[in-house]
């Protein structure tokens, strides 16, 4: 992979980074189907899925991260659709990031700037995902708070692997009425179809 202007990861190998992500790295493979890698950064999840032959749409609002991911995909002849936009529940305006730091947070604006892409727009453009992996530094709260997103997500029986950021928000948002598997202290996997969830967990070798 082509890492980085990211000081946290520049000295790490791909294997070390995957080890740090632990069991979450196996979820795209076990879920199968189309992956939306939301907050892809330089593309650990996207690359893992693409190497496995899975279609992948990688969303990131950092121009630099997108450049690095595209370079990795081209070098390794991987089929990854890269979208250089912030991913939101409702349309917002924002300033794009210029570095590939994994802690980049979207700076939303009242007017001007760049328009985000919503999950409904993404579905129209790229198709319905089997799995949404989301790591957007506190931005996950908007999705937990969105009734429309929840209804859409549950109706489509999509897997949602979300990284929580309680240190940013002051608490960990959650849904109490949708089946959830706690992968680790930071990653929760949701799916409205409990049977599908059980099969995925079994394929991962249990938790």
pLDDT tens by residue, 178-197: 999 998 888 999 999 999 99
Q: Which stretches does DSSP call E strand in 8-163?
A: 35-38, 56-59, 81-83, 87-88, 93-95, 107-109, 114-115, 117-118, 131-134, 159-163
* pLDDT over 90 (residue 2): no
Give the rounded distance of the alpha carbon of 195 from its chain centre: 23
**CA-based nearest residue to 35, from 150, 161, 152:** 161
Q: Read off the pTM.
A: 0.88
User: Going edge to edge, which strands form the sheet with 107-109?
Assistant: 107-109, 93-95, 114-115
| Domain-located, residue 6 | no
| Domain-located, residue 5 | no
149 CB contacts (<8 Å, ≥6 apart)? 89, 119, 143
DSSP 3-state percent helix, strand, coil across the chain (nearest 5)? 35, 20, 45
Longest CA–CA span in the chain (Å) reads 48
Which tens digits make up the pLDDT trace of 22-70?
A: 667 778 888 889 999 999 998 888 988 998 899 999 999 999 999 999 9
119 CB contacts (<8 Å, ≥6 apart)? 87, 89, 132, 143, 149, 152
Mean pLDDT of the chain: 87
pLDDT band at residue 139, thresholds of 50, 70 and 90? very high
User: What's the total number of domains in the chain?
Assistant: 1
| Domain-located, residue 104 | yes
| Domain-located, residue 123 | yes
For residue 157, the domain's CATH number is 3.40.50.150
pLDDT attached to residue 13: 52
* pLDDT over 70 (residue 150): yes
| Domain-located, residue 1 | no
DSSP element (H, E) containing 153:
helix 147-156
| Domain-located, residue 77 | yes
pLDDT attached to residue 82: 97
Query: Which residue has tokens 């489509």?
Result: 156
Residue 147 domain boundaries = 14-203
| Domain-located, residue 7 | no
* pLDDT over 50 (residue 207): no
At 138, is the secondary structure helix, strand, or coil?
coil
| Domain-located, residue 8 | no
Whether the Cβ atoms of residue 102 and residue 6 lie closer than 8 Å to each other: yes
């Amino acid at each position: 992979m082509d890492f980085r202007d990211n000081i946290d990861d520049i000295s790490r190998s791909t294997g070390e980074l995957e080890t740090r992500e632990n069991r979450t790295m196996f979820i795209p493979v076990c879920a199968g189907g189309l992956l939306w890698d939301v907050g892809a950064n330089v593309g650990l999840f996207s690359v893992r899925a693409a190497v496995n032959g899975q279609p992948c749409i990688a969303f990131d609002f950092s121009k630099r991260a997108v450049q690095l991911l595209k370079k990795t995909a081209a070098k390794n002849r991987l089929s990854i659709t890269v979208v250089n936009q912030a991913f939101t529940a409702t349309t917002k305006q924002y300033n794009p990031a210029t570095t590939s730091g994994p802690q980049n947070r979207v700076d939303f604006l009242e007017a001007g700037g760049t328009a985000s892409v919503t999950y409904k727009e993404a579905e129209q453009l790229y198709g319905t995902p089997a799995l949404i992996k989301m790591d957007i530094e506190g931005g996950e709260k908007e999705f937990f708070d969105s009734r429309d997103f929840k209804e859409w997500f549950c109706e489509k029986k999509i897997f949602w692997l979300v990284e929580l950021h309680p240190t940013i928000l002051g608490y960990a948002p959650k849904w109490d009425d949708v089946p959830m598997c706690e992968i680790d202290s930071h990653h929760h996997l949701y799916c409205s179809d409990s049977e599908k969830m059980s099969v995925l967990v079994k394929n991962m070798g249990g938790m």
